[in-house]
A and B are shown apart, each in its own frame.
Chain A
Amino acid sequence: MDQFLQLTLSGLTNGAVLALAALGFVLIYKASDVINFAQGEFLLVGAYVMFAVVGELGWHWTVGIVVTVLVAVALGMLLERFVLRPMIGEPIISLIMVTIGLSSLLKAVVSGIWGTDERAFPSFIPSDPINVFGATVTTDKLWAIAIAAVFLVAFNLFFRRSSSGIAMRAVADDQQAALSMGISVKKVFAMAWSISAATAAIGGIIIANILGVSGNISGVGLQVFPVVILGGLDSIPGAVLGGVIIGLLQAYTGGYVGHGLNSIIPFIVLVLILMVKPYGLFGQEIIERV
């Protein structure tokens, strides 16, 4: 029982990070139909900026989070403006190549500045052991889940209630019709990239707090694919649930079956899902009126 709770909790933590990364991925895909292979590098950038501000400059962690989010937003906007926008109208395969290129570039820039050594992250989140239902867990995991949950709820509200959020979904649905409504498609694309970079950066901070800062963080980007395919490429609740499911699955297989299997299990799930539900759990099927 103790082990089960432990695994559940670390699964949820991982799942929360995956959900944040996947949320950004889904956002970009939804708004602009671009499959962003550089999503993992957004996590990396987030982790290192936080490390630089809190670990190297020694500022307070709240400032760190604010600065990280701002840097991520700026990065997202710049990438959209100068890399993605000139590519509008190009074939999808070129866009994919561009994002793959971006991922290498970002990784190289990060290791160029901070080197490739693994560093200890200035743990700003207290990691005291506490007792939850008889299992001993560290509070940093609980915090990670809480932070992720707050952001996920906030984004969900943004998409359902705010007019900018609705405009983003409108663009995802029918670009030309959105244009005729006076919605600026360019602005929506820029917004999608910056929000996406920001959520991923938060995910990066959380994961660095648990694992330490190193280039491996961008590997999470690869796990985003099974998550979004499980949840549905264009579904925000799907990204969240997919993240949690994959996170838990990994934790349980790692704990009960064996450590080697837990990095493969997401991809086994991916294949199974594609066979049964090609749109994912919540993916938009093409609405056909009868």
Chain B
Amino acid sequence: MLSLNNVEVIYEDVILVLKGMSLEVPDGQIVALLGANGAGKSTTLKAISGLLKPENGEVTDGDIQFQGEPIHTLPAEDVVRRGIFQVMEGRRVFEHLNVEENLIAGAYTRTDRQNVKRDLEMVYTYFPRLKERMKQSAGYLSGGEQQMLAIGRALMAKPKLVMLDEPSLGLAPLLVVEIFDIIKRINQEQGTTILLVEQNALLALDIANYAYIMENGRIVLDGEPDTLRENADVREFYLGLTEVGKRKSYRDVKHYKRRKRWLS
């Protein structure tokens, strides 16, 4: 459905952030994109959704195809119209609009106005808490509710592909589990394809069908979640698991760079 081939992104004409990024998102699946801070995960999503331009970024090489058509030269509004919706990092709800108006803003590109009301109800069944706060300013919602609103806003656009940028950011563990459950339900019930960017690798691997691990602007490892979970390096660096009972010294931690055997 979506494929990135050797994509290179440069900010401000000098800062090379993506260095030959390739990725495949098949129809109807949940694909996770994992990686440390600064690996280029958010840049990847912005390159897809056309949001690089306001930040002075540009795709300089490679191509991004959605349903067989190149989209990396399209402005953001056309990408949304084609069915790709990005839920930005840090929720970014419209603070001075109330909950319902936020959802209506999400449906901006829809042409079938008469169905918008029905979809509002659909969002409210996924997130009953939003219904209770329908008329409240989004700025005064709790962090979890704002994340729900951000996801609900994406649903209102009826996208084929939703890209979620760190939905767990700054939320309590229990809430994160709840949100991930809903993401999974949306994928199954609405058939929406999901590209999930996460720091919380454990949870992301739980719901994903396939996962990519990114470092330094390119993919270094990919596979089924089960295979990745078994990988010693993933276990150590992303899941924080070591062999039980073994002492860890600072020396071992310092080996971090050397131990990353997939790095070029």
Contacts and interface: CB of A to CB of B under 8 A. Distances in A.
A176 B88 contact: yes
Given A177-B88, A287-B139, A166 B105 contact: yes
Contact of A170 (B49, B51, B97, B113): B97
**How would you classify the secondary structure of chain A's contact residues: helix, strand, loop or mixed?**
helix
Contacts of B105: 163, 166-167, 170, 178, 181, 183
A180 B97 contact: no
A178 B79 CA distance: 13
A146 interface: no
A172 to B, nearest CB: 8
Interface in A152-182: 163, 166-167, 169-170, 172-182
B96 A183 contact: no
Interface string A132-164: 000000000000000000000000000000010
Interface string B102-116: 101111110001000
B92 interface: yes
Contacts of A179: 51, 54, 76-77
- Give the interface centre of A166, A167, A180, A289 by most chain B CB atoms within 10 Å: A180
B92 A174 contact: yes
A111 interface: no
Contacts of A170: 94, 97, 101-102, 105, 108
A116 interface: no
B54 A181 contact: no
A251 B149 CA distance: 48
Nearest to A169: B97
B101 A176 contact: no
A173 B108 CA distance: 15
Interface in B79-97: 79-81, 85-86, 88, 92-97
Interface string B129-147: 0000000010110110000
Contact of B77 (A173, A174, A184, A284): A184
A169 B96 contact: yes
B41 interface: no
Chain B: number of interface residues, binned into ranges: 20 to 34
B172 to A, nearest CB: 14
A166 B104 contact: yes
Contact of B80 (A173, A175, A181): A181
Interface in A274-290: 284, 287, 289
A163 B105 CA distance: 7
Contacts of B77: 179, 182-184
Which of A179, A181, A184 neighbours the largest number of chain B CB atoms within 10 Å of its CB? A181
Contacts of A182: 76-77, 79-81, 85, 108-109, 157
Contact of B51 (A167, A169, A174, A176): A176
Nearest to A234: B96
B156 to A, nearest CB: 9
Contacts of B81: 182
Contacts of B88: 176-177, 180
A178 B142 CA distance: 21
A179 B53 CA distance: 11
A287 B76 contact: no
Nearest to A175: B54
A174 B140 CA distance: 16
A180 B102 CA distance: 13
Interface of B: 49, 51, 54, 76-77, 79-81, 85-86, 88, 92-97, 101-102, 104-109, 113, 137, 139-140, 142-143, 153, 157
Given A179-B77, A182-B85, 16 more contacts: A163-B105, A163-B113, A170-B102, A173-B95, A174-B95, A176-B54, A177-B88, A177-B94, A179-B76, A180-B76, A180-B86, A181-B108, A182-B109, A184-B77, A287-B95, A287-B139
Closest 8 CB pairs of A and B: A182-B80, A287-B139, A182-B109, A177-B92, A173-B94, A170-B105, A182-B77, A179-B76
Interface of A: 163, 166-167, 169-170, 172-184, 284, 287, 289
10 contacts: A166-B104, A170-B94, A170-B101, A172-B96, A179-B76, A180-B85, A181-B80, A181-B153, A182-B109, A289-B143
